[in-house]
Structure 1
């Protein structure tokens, strides 16, 4: 038997696999014991791979990027992905270890598990990402009795994430004018969730679950404590403020002596980090503020796929 050829054929098959990526945003970075518990359950199934972890202590927020395959039935409909159980296990561990009432940070949030977004990778489609998102959302709502809001391709009408967040007061700090502390939601939600109860657990909050094409997250530090200036710059950079199309921004406190423009690039190949960086620098210069080079908070989809492939290949030998 030609083992080199068999190995090559195996890798070729893997490269043709339909892959899905889940990004899970959890409102915590300072409690190492809790994060360790979440990561332990995430690693129980070797078919789901954590390809990146990004955490920010000032925001008190962590994001896990997890990848696995999706399998189909004879008609081509998605029926299974290891990601489903991995994500649900992480959600359960987070709810068991953390309490939103004890949380505070400089980044907005409405839940301990704040956001779960599914992206298609490799040959997968947005429909498959939406299938996974809706399956995870239904289980969270039913099993954990947490209100769940679907968005983008997972929502029946494609409702935008930022629309739901505005309806729930996500962008309004409730502590010291720049911080989010405890559960700021009313016990009865103003907008009916898509899954789960209409009443909120103060310990868990609510969770957003969506599916969308790949987005990039890019942050630009500003060497100033002037939050009002940072918010103005963020507004002028964003599509909502008449700036760059498909760019969403937040101006946030980031540490004792600086602020930050946190950006979501919905079409990073058209309106990318270079344009954002230049626009922030131009606007900051008008305010006499110094800007540092921005940074991505995750890898590109190509790099994420490559890291997954390398991990699977290494563990199959």
Structure 2
């Protein structure tokens, strides 16, 4: 059985189709790689690309895409609602079949070394690839974003793992690492208020929020473990969203996240109108969600896969902003 890994690079360009197609063209040029999904966001100014294949082919395709992104994207003029630090902001590698996370760590290290040494882009390792847990979290690495990295990269504790300890003004810096499946997921609110969206994000994300009282500063954890969240306003949709990364979908599945955001939205005087998947999702996450929402309606006998997926799409409003095609958005269907 062939070893298969998935790669989900995030590029800091979401509007210029010529640039996006040039980057994805590099991926598609590598034999043994299957381009699964390209998901651009204009307001976020970010494109999430998903591809998969045998490990050596995947890291070759990722290297070529990172190289092309660095040539075509100019971080000196790039703006968008999504936090970012480089033309290729983050490039995770994920085990899919017949390969362990430890083996993927080795491939991520090969890619990171090549990007740092051959392209001279500062590279930070993260998640399972990073032995120093103080700098394994993407949010901690990216804090300060592109603008702040010219100073941050000079701090000894933030020296890159590969490449020069000098911020690249045009290409920025890149984060590479091995991790498990992650769902990038946005929930739409019936409000344009970024403040409300941020308050909900702070209520539910694992890191919670910092409050100041008579005893000083203290952190109040959020209600959902393994969830990272921020709030923003999307001019494209004329809605505020709670934008999230779900980093352990076995412990905190997508349907639990949806219901919790609905509850917190009500606490803040608004409501959820639907949601948006960025990139792709494992089949089990969708069927588990469909089963959950049907059970809430008292329907317990449905086992048909298509009906479970349809129930999840309807319950979470995944069709609100754009048609949701399971054949294109569920990773197992694309790999088949």
The size of the alignment, in residue pairs, is 272
The 5 Å alignment of 1:69-148 reads 69-70=54-55, 81-148=56-123
Q: Do the aligned partners of 1:121 and 1:301 also contact (CA within 8 Å) in 2? A: no
Shift of 1:278: 1.5
Alignment partner, residue 165 of structure 1: 141
Q: Do the aligned partners of 2:31 and 2:57 also contact (CA within 8 Å) in 1? A: no
Q: Do the aligned partners of 1:150 and 1:194 also contact (CA within 8 Å) in 2? A: yes
1:276 to 257, 270, 273: 257
- Once the two structures are superposed, residues 69-120 of structure 1 have per-residue CA deviations (whole angstroms, 9 ceiling, x without a partner) of 13xxxxxxxxxx1111111111111111110011111111011110000100
The reply on whether 1:31 has 2:58 as its aligned counterpart is no
Whole-Å separation in 2 of the counterparts to 1:150 and 1:250: 23
Helix, strand or coil at the partner of 2:251: coil
Shift of 1:300: 2.8
Whole-Å separation in 2 of the counterparts to 1:152 and 1:86: 21
Shift of 1:265: 1.2
2:194 to 222, 227, 231: 227
- In structure 2, the gaps of 5 or more residues are 209-221, 284-329
Shift of 1:233: 0.4
Q: What TM-score results when the alignment is normalised by the length of structure 1?
A: 0.81
- What RMSD in Å do the two structures reach over aligned CA positions? 1.8
Whole-Å separation in 2 of the counterparts to 1:198 and 1:273: 38
Alignment partner, residue 314 of structure 1: none
Q: Which moved more, 1:264-273 or 1:105-114?
A: 264-273
Alignment partner, residue 331 of structure 2: 304
Whole-Å separation in 2 of the counterparts to 1:283 and 1:43: 42
Whole-Å separation in 1 of the counterparts to 2:57 and 2:256: 37
Shift of 1:163: 5.3
Q: Which has the higher contact order (CA 8 A, sep 6+)?
A: 1
- In structure 1, the gaps of 5 or more residues are 1-15, 71-80, 171-181, 311-317
Alignment partner, residue 53 of structure 2: 68
Q: Do the aligned partners of 1:37 and 1:93 also contact (CA within 8 Å) in 2? A: yes
Shift of 1:295: 2.7
Helix, strand or coil at the partner of 2:126: strand
The reply on whether 1:244 has 2:229 as its aligned counterpart is no
Whole-Å separation in 2 of the counterparts to 1:45 and 1:217: 26
Q: What TM-score results when the alignment is normalised by the length of structure 2?
A: 0.76
Shift of 1:52: 1.1
- Indicate how the Cα distance of structure 1 residues 233 and 192 shifts in structure 2: closer, same or farther if over 3 A, else same: same
